[in-house]
Chain A
Amino acid sequence: MSNGLMNRVLPAPAAFQPLKALLCTIPMLLLSAMMLSHGSFPTEPLQRIALGLTYIFCNGLFFLMLYTGKVHRYRSVFFITAAFAFIISFGANLLEVRGSMVLNEANIIDGDTPFCHLVIPMVIIPAALTKTIIFPGTLLNRFASIAGMVVLWLGASVALGRGWCSWVCFYGGLDEGFSRLCKKPVISDIDTKWTYLPWAVLLGIVLTSALTLSPTYCEWLCPFKTVTEFGAITSFKTLIQTVIFVTLFLALVVVLPIITGRRIQCGLFCPFAAFQSVTNKFNIFDIRIDREKCVDCNRCSKGCPTFSLDEASIREGKTLLSCTKCGKCVDICPRQAIRFHIKGTSVSASAESARLLFLYPAFIFATAVGGGMVYGAMVRVLKLVTTGSMF
């Protein structure tokens, strides 16, 4: 492509006037107040401060998204903060309730294991065949119950499709955070064959879970066990498992994202991500490329954190099934050719409306999940600073 075309960069993407951005933030101000406070204002001063700070943090970012038009930039700040806040609040909760982050047999027998969304693809076939959920958690009532997580996942899947992976997932922010550390990636050429690996892992874990009637991904492959809940090393098996968890975490969540600048765990390994991609089929939001504006500079495909754009898909004017609607391609397109889009409408229809309509449900789910984690972590940190103890 000629330099002339590249130089004809259009001004910043559709940004709102301050007053309009503020007015559009009002619904979020009300909804986030309700979701973060759960309907009652905390009595402890520290909790009040934490709630206020979280409230300002969430809504400030939402306002900035609208005001500047840069969705990815501010989503990313929220997403990364929420992921690290999750580790702090989850770990502190476990320490408070159990006295340790270690999962032992007594916890498993008690059904005391918090359920996370990564387990969902593995429980479906055994649940259909044996009417049993092969996870040592509780269905209702307790923290991170199975029913609660499934309902949350269903709602977010309907509203966002695979947008879950860039707006709601409380692990994704970790590799996104590390992927942003190095400005110039050391490795930029990755064979597209690797993008099929999450599907292969999904197939492997679904089949072996049906065989062993246990969630094999959680037992053997989940890198996030390294920083959340892990099994006590009491046998050769648990030793091997721990070595695998730590190795995968360092490789997929830390080192490879740093040297590639991409979300390697989310884009090239996570089986739940592959499973979640299917929900993009029936979700009404997608990302489209206006072919009349596109100059095939391929900045979007080179910058996509989850490998969801390639030359063929750009030619077709749409993203691949794995798109997480993070908005990075929308932000970095020099011609504003990429936009949030509502299926069934014209690509050249108002991008502003589609973006706004997507941002509301996306940020509601993000605040409901990530906001709670930021609040929880902030309470712990403030307690640590003021009293010397997190509990």
Chain B
Amino acid sequence: MQGFLLGLSTGAVCLAYCAPTLVPYLLGEGKGIRQSGVILCQFLGGRLCGYLIFAVVAWALNQFVIIPNVDYESLLGLVYIVLAMALAFYGLRNNSAPCAGRSFNASVNRILGRWPALMAVSLGFFTGLNLCPAFLLALASACELNNLSQSLLFFFSFFLGTTLYFIPAPLLGAFKGLPTLRIIGKMAAVITAIYYLYTGIIMFVGGMNFL
């Protein structure tokens, strides 16, 4: 219950953190409301996976008391970089112009053709690994729990609380009649990718200290 309430009270912040990834993706796909709902579920599924990984981390932190010598900032920087690359790839992948990455493009397109949900799930997953302020609150609360199942349950209920804020997102599908929005969504995905890439590189090289 505590996790759910925390999710409810901080969900708007979670939405603000996920929106730069989710909104361009939904617009870029250009699907109707129902299909956008399906995409949202895939995205949230990936995000839940990210949350549950943190549930395990929170439990482990509690168990081992001594925090292992892991450079979390670099790790998160790496997550940002991967997220940026996924977003940039999404924004540019259907570009038919000849380029050096064409064979890579084709092979990834084959994989995405087989598992179309993979892109939404992976974007959700890497977004779920972000340390937004709401998430830090949840992590701090979960660290006080003693067993793994409690920690998992806490994060799951936190996820449910925040998810309520995402319910209106499929309404973007109402604009599917505007084909230009697909182009705009993909361009915005590339712009957001540049932002995340910069943030990721700075975090990865530990540059935040001198920013």
- By a beta-carbon cutoff of 8 Å, the part of chain A in contact with chain B is 129, 193, 196-197, 199-201, 203-204, 207-208, 210-211, 216, 220, 235-237, 240
Q: Bound state CA distance, A267 and B129, in angstroms?
A: 37
A208 near B192 with CB under 8 A, answer yes
**7 closest A-B pairs by CB:** A200-B187, A204-B191, A207-B20, A203-B188, A200-B188, A237-B211, A199-B184
Complex interface residues of chain B between 34 and 93 (CB less than 8 A to chain A):
none
Given contacts A199-B184, A211-B19, contact A204 B195 (CB under 8 A): yes
Given contacts A196-B187, A197-B187, A199-B184, contact A208 B23 (CB under 8 A): no
A211 near B210 with CB under 8 A, answer no
A236 near B207 with CB under 8 A, answer yes
A200 near B23 with CB under 8 A, answer no
Q: Bound state CA distance, A142 and B118, in angstroms?
A: 53
- A203 CB contacts on chain B under 8 angstroms: 23-24, 27, 184-185, 188, 191
**B15 vs chain A, min Cβ distance (A):** 9
B210 near A201 with CB under 8 A, answer no
Given contacts A196-B187, A200-B184, A204-B195, contact A211 B16 (CB under 8 A): yes
State whether the Cβ of B166 lies closer than 8 Å to any Cβ in chain A: no
Partner of B183, one of A196, A204, A220, A237: A196
A210 near B191 with CB under 8 A, answer no
Please give me the residue from chain A that is nearest to B20 by CB atom. A207
Q: Bound state CA distance, A216 and B191, in angstroms?
A: 12
State whether the Cβ of B17 lies closer than 8 Å to any Cβ in chain A: yes
B19 near A207 with CB under 8 A, answer yes
**A252 vs chain B, min Cβ distance (A):** 15
User: Which bracket fits the contact residues of B?
Assistant: 20 to 34
**A124 vs chain B, min Cβ distance (A):** 14
**B194 vs chain A, min Cβ distance (A):** 9
- B195 CB contacts on chain A under 8 angstroms: 204, 208, 216, 220
Looking at chain B's contact residues, the main secondary structure is: helix
A207 near B23 with CB under 8 A, answer yes
- B207 CB contacts on chain A under 8 angstroms: 236
State whether the Cβ of B94 lies closer than 8 Å to any Cβ in chain A: no
Partner of A193, one of B17, B19, B183: B183
State whether the Cβ of B150 lies closer than 8 Å to any Cβ in chain A: no
- A211 CB contacts on chain B under 8 angstroms: 16-17, 19-20
B17 near A236 with CB under 8 A, answer no
Q: Bound state CA distance, A208 and B87, in angstroms?
A: 15
- A240 CB contacts on chain B under 8 angstroms: 198
Given contacts A129-B12, A235-B210, contact A200 B191 (CB under 8 A): yes
Q: Bound state CA distance, A216 and B196, in angstroms?
A: 13
- B19 CB contacts on chain A under 8 angstroms: 207, 210-211
Selected A-B contacts with CB under 8 Å, 29 pairs:
A193-B183, A196-B180, A199-B180, A200-B24, A200-B186, A200-B188, A201-B188, A201-B191, A203-B24, A203-B184, A203-B188, A203-B191, A204-B24, A204-B188, A204-B191, A204-B195, A207-B19, A207-B23, A207-B24, A207-B188, A207-B192, A208-B192, A208-B195, A210-B16, A211-B16, A211-B17, A220-B195, A236-B211, A237-B202
Given contacts A207-B20, A208-B20, A208-B195, contact A236 B184 (CB under 8 A): no
Q: Bound state CA distance, A197 and B180, in angstroms?
A: 11
**B25 vs chain A, min Cβ distance (A):** 12
- A129 CB contacts on chain B under 8 angstroms: 12, 16
Q: Bound state CA distance, A204 and B187, in angstroms?
A: 9
Please give me the residue from chain A that is nearest to B211 by CB atom. A237
Please give me the residue from chain A that is nearest to B196 by CB atom. A208
Q: Bound state CA distance, A196 and B198, in angstroms?
A: 24
**A132 vs chain B, min Cβ distance (A):** 13
- B187 CB contacts on chain A under 8 angstroms: 196-197, 199-201
A196 near B211 with CB under 8 A, answer no
Complex interface residues of chain B between 123 and 142 (CB less than 8 A to chain A):
none
- A216 CB contacts on chain B under 8 angstroms: 195
Q: Bound state CA distance, A207 and B188, in angstroms?
A: 10
- A201 CB contacts on chain B under 8 angstroms: 187-188, 191
Other A-B pairs, 16, CB within 8 Å; known A196-B183, A200-B191, A208-B192: A200-B24, A200-B183, A200-B190, A203-B23, A203-B24, A203-B188, A204-B191, A204-B192, A207-B19, A207-B20, A211-B17, A216-B195, A235-B210, A236-B202, A236-B207, A237-B202
